[in-house]
Homo-oligomer: A and B are copies of this chain.
């Protein structure tokens, strides 16, 4: 079989296991078993655990980048793009209830491990943060764009964590509705600049 095909299958399996079980809790043998290859073959493609982690992070970055840029290329307006981002929580609700957020949980683990991969995990946050900031700027929130981006990012993280802790509730759906309502209020803000002062 072509090396690149096996390599790709390893990355896909490792990506899933790192998400479901965590990075440190996933062994070479675990990944090899899922792919259906020997540990020796695994080592032929990736010389260390850090190397497979890097490959997974690159894959995720590319995947998320394509998703975000895809919405823009489809010509969707900025507000709709942000709404799409919020909607990810619903699209992936099953996995989120079972394993939390792929970005947040992996970052947290690598951070506690003191692992160099913490940087790549932060890059994933950066990707979403910068993209959201640009969308808010297009919505006219030039001054607060980054603050709004961080806000929606934080709420997504919190919702994912609690949905993981309480999977049997309709909590996730309700919070998404609130976030979309919040987005409406934000997008109205530049149309109705006269806000009620505190």
Q: How distant is the Cα of A19 from the Cα of B120 in the complex, in angstroms? A: 22
| Residues A162 and B154 in contact, CB atoms below 8 Å apart | yes
Please pick, from B21, B111, B161, B181, the residue contacting A158 in the complex, using a CB distance under 8 A: B161
A20: CB under 8 A from chain B?
A: yes
Please pick, from B105, B121, B162, the residue contacting A150 in the complex, using a CB distance under 8 A: B162
The main secondary structure of chain A at its interface with chain B is: helix
A99: CB under 8 A from chain B?
A: yes
Distance of A143 from chain B, by nearest CB (Å): 13
Measured between beta carbons, the chain B residues less than 8 angstroms from A155 are 154-155, 158
Knowing that A108-B161, A150-B171, A155-B155 are A-B contacts, what are 17 other residue pairs whose CB atoms are under 8 Å apart, sorted by A's residue number?
A: A21-B113, A21-B114, A99-B112, A100-B108, A100-B111, A105-B112, A107-B161, A109-B109, A121-B165, A122-B165, A125-B162, A151-B178, A154-B175, A155-B158, A157-B162, A161-B161, A181-B198
Measured between beta carbons, the chain B residues less than 8 angstroms from A157 are 157-158, 161-162
Measured between beta carbons, the chain B residues less than 8 angstroms from A99 are 111-112
| Residues A22 and B109 in contact, CB atoms below 8 Å apart | yes
Distance of A52 from chain B, by nearest CB (Å): 18
Which residues in window 44-66 of A have CB below 8 A to B? none
